[in-house]
Structure 1
Amino acid sequence: MRNSLESSSGRNTLYQDVTDRIIRELEEGRVPWVQPWDGASCSLGLPRNAVTSRTYSGINVLILWDAVIVRGFAAQQWLTFRQALAAGGNVRKGERGTTICYADRFIPRDERQRAAESGEEPAAIPFLKRFTVFNVEQCENLPETAANTQASLREAEIVPAAEAVIAATGADIRTGGGEAFYHRTEDYIRVPPQTAFFDPINYYRTVFHELGHWTGHGSRLARDLTNRYGSEGYAREELVAEMASAFLCASQSITPTVRHADYIGAWLTVLRNDARAIFQAASMASKSADFVLGCAAGEVRSDSFA
């Protein structure tokens, strides 16, 4: 019987398989976290589990967004084969699922016993598991609650919601000038006035990008923001902020766009050198977006980490 935990070589293969797909997309001029939603059949939003309603995060957002675009699904709801059966429905015969990833750590029984005897902290072993999900459109006989899809709002209607999310962070956002940036040492965001943007909705996309950097401050999620411009570390942080902006935009039904296309070459270099980089960046981006949305939901106060 195959162990449910991936072997080291299996983990490496999974990391490389996904990374190779992302590299191919970038080389062909497509940015996986900014899909061509105008031509998509589905409404914009974050993919979520049809049974638990939990949104997927990290690399799984990119994998599932790619699937709805490429395969033309009109829904962003997914579930496993067993979940479909438990909900009273089933996956249609012949349907091909989408492989996503689950990463965690576990402590073997022997290690627990050793730690207990020695008084040391037990060492956790990381594992990466792959499993298959199906879009609700690939299923039949599901209850209406599981098969329901949400219609996206028009951009003009969702701007106030975006404003509310931004305000709830309590971030020091200063309007003016012709350049957007996050000032790490003084912990503030500078962004041009909305009237300076050719497309007004880009103001929100830009603020979300800078909020992505803002969450990395030492008093919040504590990422390394000290890398100099042009370095690999700088490219990695920009990758996190780009995806965080895309995830935040999608959560507010704003179509994501590439804010910094000139970094694509640097991102390709990072991904070619490190098969785990896209997993790490996507995970950090999800945590960043969750932090911002947690402020709006009252779950997190930006000053509570200070």
Structure 2
Amino acid sequence: MSKHHSRTHAREDRLSLYDEITNKIIAELEAGHVPWVQPWENAAEKALPVMPKNVTTNRPYSGVNVLILWSTARERGFSSQRWLTYRQALTIGSHIRKGERGTTIVHADRFVPRDERIRTYETGEEAQAVPFLKRFTVFNVDQCDGALPTEIATAAPPQRPDMIEPTVEALIKATGIDFRIGGNRAFYAPSDDYVQVPPPAAYFEPINWHRTALHELGHASGHPSRLNRDLGGCYGTKRYALEELIAELCAAFCCTSLGIVPTVRHADYIGSWLEILREDNRAILRAASQASKAADFLLGFVPKQSLAAPTIAVRAEQEA
């Protein structure tokens, strides 16, 4: 196979994978189901709200892989958010049941081709990296046969409900972000760099206040002094809708890591999200990646013992 044909095939495979992921999420949104809201609601045994992680490396999955695995667990009734590869199952004395279907996740990265390295060495110019996506197939522990180690087979205890509120309050204070409680609407003001959220009594359930607070803090994480995202989109623009999607995912990732069942804050944004995803098959990967970084930034202010699951890894998965 020629180098040109190989590169063309790799590019087509990458685009196909972008389409597969995007089309799956579009289908869920069109059906009225938001993939990052209560993803475990139909599990055979009500799974605790946790971030998916690899059982042998204990590494939490990040970015769009979180959405893929949450969605798969919900659709197929898995009771766990613990995953592993076929080979990893064998290394722990278990095996994947015959006929079980795996779930495709991705590792996104960039590399500099050999020809490009030579060119830049000769010219002194900056090398141009080429993006790539690599597929991995993972299985849920529910798809395994054979004894699992005790620490894997036993689910983690649930977060105590009375620990949630102090943990979020501690996070808010530790970030140093100007956080104001009052008024009748929640928002983040980029120009003055402050968050405002109505008092908890204005919300039907305390969970909704915490989720809203984390959503607005997700926006604040993009300030130039923090993660430096583009926050310049006006209401009704695609840039604005994308930032709302990032904040929604950030809140869902944070809630789950803190043992709070995430709910959707802005169901009316679904139409604008669909428009973005239909026009750009890479948008959901970018949004999920930025959301993981935002959540990791915020969760970094929480004492590790307060987390219901490990903090979200910013880096993409090197090994499923």
Structure 2 unaligned blocks of 5 or more: 305-320
Contact 2:167 2:302 in 1 (8 A): no
Question: Do structure 1's residue 15 and structure 2's residue 37 form an aligned pair?
Answer: no
In the alignment, which residue of structure 1 is the partner of 2:81? 76
Q: Given the superposition, is the C-alpha separation of residues 17 and 150 from structure 1 closer, same or farther in structure 2, using an over 3 Å criterion?
A: same
Provide TM-score, normalisation by structure 1.
0.91
| Residue 124 of structure 1, CA deviation | 1.5
Kindly provide the CA deviation profile for residues 47-90 of structure 1, in whole angstroms up to 9, marking residues without a partner as x. Answer: 01101111111111111001111111111111111111222322
In the alignment, which residue of structure 1 is the partner of 2:27? 24
In the alignment, which residue of structure 2 is the partner of 1:34? 37
Give secondary structure in 1 for the equivalent of 2:68: helix
Provide TM-score, normalisation by structure 2.
0.87
In the alignment, which residue of structure 1 is the partner of 2:118? 113
Q: Given the superposition, is the C-alpha separation of residues 143 and 5 from structure 1 closer, same or farther in structure 2, using an over 3 Å criterion?
A: farther
Counterpart Cα distance in 2 of 1:4 and 1:249: 41
List structure 1 runs of 4+ shifted beyond 6 angstroms: 3-6
Show the 5 A alignment for 1:113-262. Answer: 113-139=118-144, 140-262=146-268
In the alignment, which residue of structure 2 is the partner of 1:54? 59
The code of the aligned residue for 1:27 comes to E
| Residue 5 of structure 1, CA deviation | 11
Q: Given the superposition, is the C-alpha separation of residues 112 and 48 from structure 1 closer, same or farther in structure 2, using an over 3 Å criterion?
A: same
Contact 2:253 2:292 in 1 (8 A): yes
Counterpart Cα distance in 1 of 2:128 and 2:143: 41
Counterpart Cα distance in 1 of 2:111 and 2:91: 27
In the alignment, which residue of structure 1 is the partner of 2:315? none
Judge which range, 160-169 or 122-131, deviates more.
160-169
Structure 1 unaligned blocks of 5 or more: 299-306
In the alignment, which residue of structure 2 is the partner of 1:287? 293
Structure 1 counterpart of 2:108, from 103, 106, 109: 103
| Residue 144 of structure 1, CA deviation | 2.3
Counterpart Cα distance in 2 of 1:36 and 1:79: 19
The code of the aligned residue for 2:75 comes to V
Structure 2 counterpart of 1:86, from 81, 87, 91: 91
| Residue 36 of structure 1, CA deviation | 5.3
Counterpart Cα distance in 1 of 2:264 and 2:69: 19
Contact 1:244 1:288 in 2 (8 A): yes
* Aligned residues: CA RMSD: 2.1
Structure 2 counterpart of 1:45, from 43, 50, 54: 50
Kindly provide the CA deviation profile for residues 98-120 of structure 1, in whole angstroms up to 9, marking residues without a partner as x. Answer: 11111011122333333233333
Fraction of identical pairs, as percent? 57
Counterpart Cα distance in 1 of 2:21 and 2:285: 9
Q: Given the superposition, is the C-alpha separation of residues 39 and 94 from structure 1 closer, same or farther in structure 2, using an over 3 Å criterion?
A: closer
**Residues paired across the two proteins, number:** 298
Counterpart Cα distance in 1 of 2:228 and 2:303: 21
| Residue 200 of structure 1, CA deviation | 1.8
